[in-house]
Amino acid sequence: MSGENVIVVSFAEDSSAYEAFTNLKELDGQGQVSIKGAAIVQRGEDGRLVIKDSQDSEQFAGTATGGLIGLLVGILGGPFGVLIGGATGLLIGSLYDMDDADETESVLAEISSAIRPGQTVMLAEVDEQSDDVVDQAMGRLGGTVLRRSVDDVEAEIAAAEHAQQAAKREARKQLLETRRSRAKEEIRRIVDALKARAHALRQRMHDVAHKL
């Protein structure tokens, strides 16, 4: 899958992720790959993602995660990421028509599932001439590479944003309807109380007239 890709490289040892990043930068310097953005990321036990910095963090300068990788970390580490972080890939039902669900795999769910709780991984956006270059370099460190095209990742990020906005609109709608419902109940309670008072007043007037 040469071209522009997002890669997630997981390791048995956390320290290997930092070494892998150094190797990736060397490949970039050699012109074998082009790094668009990268981060060493750790998922906490609560599911949140934290971008880790090493003691020699200067080596990570210039790989700011304000671009696609930053967006990805934000989505996968937030509440929406919790929904898609399991093996089931619950995001599918939100992003696609159910008629297409059987034929669709969620790229974001795959990437999220590749970052397990307590694990540190390297997450990067790279332009590759060949998959073999990165695969071999990471393989020598015992790394497992998950690779998905930038186009697919961006498409799902856009769809995820749309789904989140739709969910927010639905939540606001439900809140407004609940508020209106409560207002109607309050109005009905007040009106019923007034009717009861009027009925009681008429009853007292009727009793007084009867006594006369």
The boundaries of the domain holding residue 114 are 3-167
- Whether 154 is in a domain gets the answer yes
Q: Would you say 149 and 11 are in contact if contact means Cβ atoms under 8 Å apart?
A: no
User: H or E segment at 33?
Assistant: strand 33-43
- CA dist 197 and 48 (Å) reads 58
- The number of domains in the chain is 1
- Whether 184 is in a domain gets the answer no
Per the structure block, which two tokens stand in for 24?
């990736």
- CA dist 91 and 78 (Å) reads 14
Average pLDDT, the chain: 78
Give the tens place of pLDDT for each residue, 24-81: 999 999 999 999 888 899 888 877 888 885 434 344 444 445 588 888 888 887 665 5
Rg (CA), the chain: 29
- Whether 75 is in a domain gets the answer yes
- Whether 46 is in a domain gets the answer yes
- Whether 11 is in a domain gets the answer yes
Provide the pLDDT for residue 79: 61
- Alpha helices, DSSP H, located in the chain: 14-29, 68-77, 79-84, 91-95, 107-113, 131-139, 150-211
- Whether 155 is in a domain gets the answer yes
